[in-house]
Amino acid sequence: MQKEFFYGQDILSVELAIALAKKTIGGRLSEETKQKVQQSSRYVQHMVDNGKTVYGITTGFGILANTKISEEDAATLQYKILQSHSVGVGNPVPEEIARLMLITKLHSLAQGYSGIQLATLERILWHLEVDAIPVVPEKGSVGASGDLAPLAHLFLPLIGLGEVFYKGKRQTTASLFQQTGTKPVSLGPKEGLALINGTQFILALAIKAVERMHYCLEAADIIGAMSLEALTGTKAPFDERLHRLRPFTGARLVAQRLCHLLENSEIMQSHMDCGRVQDPYSLRCMPQVHGASRNAWLHLKELTTIEAGAVTDNPIVFGEDDTISGGNFHGQPLALPLDYACFAASEVGNISDRRCYLLLEGKWGLPLLLMKRVGLNSGFMIPQYTTAALVSENKTLCFPSSADSIPTSLGQEDHVSMGSISGRKLLQVLDNLESILAIELLCACQAIEFRRPLKSSAILEEAHHFVRRYVGFAEEDRVFADDIGRIKNHLQDYSFVRHVQQFAVNKNIPLNKDFDAFSL
């Protein structure tokens, strides 16, 4: 990965956006970018000086587009739009999401088509550098006309209003300015509109979803392979020859991964002639199900990358007297793939729950409920209640937000995407999925213990060893919520998957060979 990012100039990938948000790389404005930004700002000032009628610069907003604004009120108009559009409700979004909003907005504005002042861009960069992250309520965007409410809250601190998270505390912008000796910026014509017109809230949610879903999919293959081992399933359905006949890329990748994950397993070798003809679908069809979800993830990643490099402002400033009022702010291009990814993530949880159920049935040499003294003990029966509840909840979250549209701005904005809701729902589904996978992983590790002294493959034994560092074998009932929480934490911080991936690299096991598109 590159060591430094140039806003408005370099290509902003999902991986780079996450790295910027985590401060593992730095970002700045090049001299070339600064010149482009200043030129664009001069174009806007020229329009105001010459009385040119341009939406949002010398007119009102939305349904008030035909209301003329005087030259002396053009700057005041930009302050008012930040105040009037700050109508968000609900809990604040996580600081990482707000950082991603700042990063992606800065990158869009820095391309020099928005008429923003250089001083305003530099202030946004300052917020990132000192880690003074605006407080942004999670609800209020309809995903068109830009993410108006979230972005208005994001940029209230530019004019000395709103709140920020700074040095571990939520505080007013006035308090931040007092501590840092900072003053509000002076907004020029069009700047307020440029700041709030865009899809950066939807985009930030999509970037985070791409990252989290990637690690869920990687974990699902590993955990599914462990469940298959514990259930003495066969790897025959993962044969490359079979998947060449139906060559969906995601399925081919998952089949390859499962073959490598199960390679040289003593457990697998021990039942090669057991006479069982076919495994249940949740084992046999992992390439088809996990693979379809990977295809959905890839679609979301590709479109998120396009949006990360896009200019989603309105109007767009091309020259001194050359502006176009269009619809680049409309969230539909991300709303649809976010909904698609939501179904895909839900299905990974659905099939994981079915594997949990299989592990508890007491078939194929495993004890009922994965514990020897059941009756007195409930074993792992009740954790599967939780997976069932979460799978059901995910299904209710799968109604596509993008299927709805409620006109706003008295009908001027008569079709909206609801893409911000799509993004928030996807993150809810992923949170539930991480819990489901954590429970399957606990069950699979418990079940594999009953196959001793036989061992699984080297890589799955390492995955099992990782879990056992934090959660021991359950001889009898205990508070399983504690176990679930510990393992979920290692899925959420990606340490489980990264540990297994690094082990595979060290052992030269090519889990994702020839499928580079499916990396972050």
Q: Is 404 helix (H, G, I), strand (E, B) or coil?
A: coil
Euclidean distance between CA atoms 115 and 321, whole angstroms: 12
pLDDT at 39: 97
Catalytic residue among 113, 329, 343, 496: 329
Tell me if residue 127 is catalytic: no
Higher pLDDT, 289 or 78: 289
Catalytic residue among 6, 266, 271, 284: 284
CB 162 within 8 A of CB 212: no
For 132, phi then psi, to 5°, come to -100, 95
What is residue 93's DSSP assignment? Answer: P
What mean pLDDT is predicted for residues 456-481? 98
Catalytic residue among 218, 413, 440, 462: 413
Euclidean distance between CA atoms 475 and 466, whole angstroms: 19
Catalytic residue among 85, 127, 214, 290: 85
Closest residue by Cα to residue 148 from 329, 335, 401, 304:
329
pLDDT at 300: 98
Tell me if residue 330 is catalytic: no
Does 61 have pLDDT greater than 70?
no
Q: How confident is the model at residue 63 (pLDDT cuts 50, 70, 90)?
A: low
Catalytic residue among 281, 318, 385, 470: 281
Domain boundaries of the chain, sorted by first residue: 4-198, 205-312+323-404+417-518
Does 62 have pLDDT greater than 70?
no
* List of residues 6+ apart from 349 with CB closer than 8 A: 387, 390, 391, 394, 429, 432, 433, 436, 437
Tell me if residue 494 is catalytic: no
Tell me if residue 214 is catalytic: no
pLDDT at 438: 98
Tell me the per-residue pLDDT of 377-387, one tens digit each, with 9 for 90 and over: 999 999 999 99
Does 410 have pLDDT greater than 90?
no
- If you average pLDDT over every residue of the chain, what do you get? 95
**What region does 411 belong to: left with phi over 0, alpha with psi -120 to 50, or beta?**
left
Catalytic residue among 43, 55, 343, 496: 55
CA 117 to chain CA centroid, nearest Å: 31
CATH of domain 205-312+323-404+417-518: 1.20.200.10
CB 358 within 8 A of CB 226: no
pLDDT at 189: 87
Q: Angle at which helices 200-230 and 480-492 pack, to 10 degrees?
A: 120
pLDDT at 55: 76
Higher pLDDT, 400 or 410: 400
Tell me if residue 413 is catalytic: yes
Higher pLDDT, 60 or 93: 93
Tell me the per-residue pLDDT of 65-106, one tens digit each, with 9 for 90 and over: 677 767 677 778 888 889 999 999 999 999 999 999 999 999
Write the single-letter amino acid at 349. G
pLDDT at 263: 97
CB atoms within 10 A of CB 432: 21
What mean pLDDT is predicted for residues 398-420? 91
4-198 folds as: Fumarase C; Chain B, domain 1 (1.10.275)
pLDDT at 213: 98
Tell me the per-residue pLDDT of 16-58, one tens digit each, with 9 for 90 and over: 999 999 999 999 999 999 999 999 999 998 888 887 877 777 7
Catalytic residue among 127, 166, 197, 432: 197
pLDDT at 310: 98
What mean pLDDT is predicted for residues 461-471? 98
CB 11 within 8 A of CB 32: no
Euclidean distance between CA atoms 492 and 483, whole angstroms: 14
Higher pLDDT, 61 or 81: 81
Tell me the per-residue pLDDT of 147-203, one tens digit each, with 9 for 90 and over: 999 999 999 999 999 999 999 999 999 999 999 999 999 998 889 999 999 999 999
For the chain, percent of residues with pLDDT exceeding 90: 87
Tell me if residue 197 is catalytic: yes
Tell me if residue 347 is catalytic: no
pLDDT at 47: 85
Burial status of residue 266 (CB atoms within 10 A of its CB: 0-12, 13-18, 19 or more): middle
